[in-house]
Amino acid sequence: MHMGNLPRRKGARIYCIGIKGTGMCALVELLHHGGFQVSGSDRKEAFYTDPILQALGIPYFESFDPSHLPQDADLIIYSAAYSPETNPELAEARARGLPLLKYTDALGAYSAGFDASGIAGVHGKTTATAMAGTLIRGAGLPAQILAGSAVGAFGGRSTLTLGNTYFVAETCEYRRHFLSFHPRRIVLTSVESDHQDYYPTYESIRDAFLEYGRNLPPGGELIYCADDPGAREVAKLLEQEAGGKEKRFTPYGFTASGAFSIQSYDVAHEQALMVLRGFPEPLCLQIPGRHSALNAAGALALTDSLVKAEAGGWQPEQWEGARQSLAAFTGSKRRSEIIGERGGILFMDDYGHHPTAVRATLAGLREFYPQRRLVLSFMAHTYTRTAALLDGFARCFEQADITVLHKIYPSARESSSFGISGETLFAKTKALQDAVYYVAEPLDAVGLLRKLLRPGDLFITMGAGDNWKLGEALFAQACEVGP
C-alpha cells in the first residue's frame, strides 16, 4: 500500500508528539492496525484517549524529554499545537535530522493509500462522519473511518476499522489543514464565516473550501448540502470551473433535487422519521434536529456512492443493515451528548460554539422535547469569534427558557480581547430576552442553577470551553435538586 510520505515497510517505528489528542490518537490506532510500531508523548493531564492507548498497548510518556525519542525512529508525527521552538522533543528530532510530519500532513499521507473521502464543513462534519461510519458498517463495506470525536457506535473511539479499500475521514478547514488530504469524494456540510483569526472574511474561508474541492481528481464527486448557502455557492463555482466535465455534483437536503432530497421529516416520541426521494422506506433517527437529518442525508449519499463503487448497487440485506445501524445511532461525544437523567432532569452536553450551530441545536431540542423547559449554560470560545459574530450570538439563544452565560474561553493563539468580554455578550442578550443570567466562572453557577432547575427540565452545557464541568457537577448533585 502506497502511503505518501509514511514509511513503506511494516514494522517501521513512528513516534507521535501530542499522542493523546483526539485526531492523533485516532491516526495512531489506524497506524497500529496497519502494522507500524507506534509510541509517543503528551502532557500528564488525563484525557479520554488514555484508556484507548492503554487498551491498544501503545507506550507513551507523560512529559516531553529529548531522551524519549527512539534511536531508530523512522518518522516523527507531531501535533500542530507544538513547534521545535517550544517542544524539546521536536527540537531534538530536528537536530538529529529525523523525518518530521505534522499530524494533518500525516493524515493526508495516510489517505493516499486508499480510495479516500473527506467530510468537511464549518458545522456538522463530526456527526456526518460518525453517521457515515455507522451506515458503512451496516452496509458491510471494507472501509476505515476517522472522526474528530469519540463515537458511541465506534465503541467510544474515534476510529472504525472494517477493511482496507476505502478511507473516510473528517477533514478540518482551520489553517487549510484539509489541503493535505487526497479525496476522491468530498462531503461538504456548510460554509460560513468562522475562525476569524485565520479567515477574516467569508470570502477567505469560502476560497479555502474551493481549493479543497479542486483537489478532487477527474471522476471525483462533491456531495454538498443544498440547504446551506455557502456549500451551494462552493458547489456552483466548482461546477462552473469543471464546465460539466469529469466531476460529479450530488446535492442533499430539504431543498435538494435528486435522490437525496428530504421529502418529509416528522418527530414523535423523541425520535424522527425521514424519507428521501430515492429511498422510499423511512429512516429513523434518535438524535434531535433538522441539522441531524441533513447530516444523515449527506452520510447516506456518501455511503451510496461507495456501495455503487464496490458492487454497482444496494443489495436488500445491505440496505436493511444500513437502516438499522442509523436507527441505533446515538451521536458522538459532545454532540447533543446525553450525560444522563437524574431527579427528572435530562442532562446534555454539546460542542456548538458558532451562532448557527447553537441556534440549530436548540431548535432541534425544542422540537424533540416539547414538554421540557430548556435551560442552557453557554460559554463563548475565542474573543475573535465572539467579536465578529456578536449580534448572531445574542440572538441564537431564543429557544432556551433560561440562559446562563459565562466569561469567554480564550485561545492561546489570541493576543487581544478586542475590548470584548462575557459581560458584553450578556448585555446584548439580556436586551433581547428575559431569564438571562451571567456567572463568569461556570462552576460558580452551581448554586444559581440548583435554585432554577426543576424536574422535567433539559439542562444543556454548550460551547468549546470548559463549562461542561458545570453539567457534570450538577448531574452529580441532581438527586438533591428540585422541590
**DSSP string of 117-159?**
EEEE-SSSHHHHHHHHHHHHHHTT--EEEEEEEEEGGGTTEEE
Kindly state whether residue 6 falls inside one of the protein's structural domains: no
The rounded distance, in Å, linking the Cα atoms of 64 and 111 is 28
User: Residue 89's domain spans which residues?
Assistant: 13-102
Whether 153 and 236 share a structural domain: yes
Whether 311 and 403 share a structural domain: no
pLDDT of residue 195: 67
Kindly state whether residue 414 falls inside one of the protein's structural domains: yes
CATH code for the domain of 270 = 3.40.1190.10
- Degrees, nearest 5: CA angle 206-207-208: 90
Furthest-apart CA atoms within the chain: distance in Å: 66
Domain end call among 327, 346, 373: 327
Kindly state whether residue 90 falls inside one of the protein's structural domains: yes
pLDDT of residue 357: 82
Contact 218, 242 (CB under 8 A): no
Contact 119, 187 (CB under 8 A): yes
CATH code for the domain of 411 = 3.90.190.20
CATH code for the domain of 74 = 3.40.50.720
Kindly state whether residue 1 falls inside one of the protein's structural domains: no
The rounded distance, in Å, linking the Cα atoms of 189 and 57 is 36
Whether 282 and 224 share a structural domain: yes
pLDDT of residue 316: 94
pLDDT of residue 160: 94
How buried is residue 168: exposed, middle or buried, by Cβ count under 10 Å (0-12/13-18/19+)?
buried
Kindly state whether residue 8 falls inside one of the protein's structural domains: no
pLDDT of residue 13: 95
Whether 160 and 260 share a structural domain: yes
Domain end call among 272, 298, 327: 327
Whether 81 and 169 share a structural domain: no
Alpha helices, DSSP H, located in 57-116 = 88-95, 103-111
Whether 142 and 194 share a structural domain: yes
Whether 301 and 429 share a structural domain: no
pLDDT of residue 198: 65
Cell of 263: 421529502
Kindly state whether residue 62 falls inside one of the protein's structural domains: yes
Whether 145 and 259 share a structural domain: yes
Whether 148 and 121 share a structural domain: yes
Kindly state whether residue 2 falls inside one of the protein's structural domains: no
The rounded distance, in Å, linking the Cα atoms of 192 and 203 is 9
Number of domains the chain is built from: 3
Whether 176 and 283 share a structural domain: yes
Its pTM stands at: 0.78
Whether 143 and 166 share a structural domain: yes
Domain end call among 327, 354, 372: 327
Local mean pLDDT, 10-residue blocks, the chain (483 residues): 62 94 90 93 89 93 95 93 91 94 93 96 89 96 90 84 95 84 96 72 90 94 97 95 85 97 90 93 89 95 97 94 92 70 89 82 87 93 84 90 91 71 87 91 95 94 89 80 42
Whether 234 and 346 share a structural domain: no
Kindly state whether residue 107 falls inside one of the protein's structural domains: no
> Which residue in the block uniquely carries the three cell numbers 425520535?
271
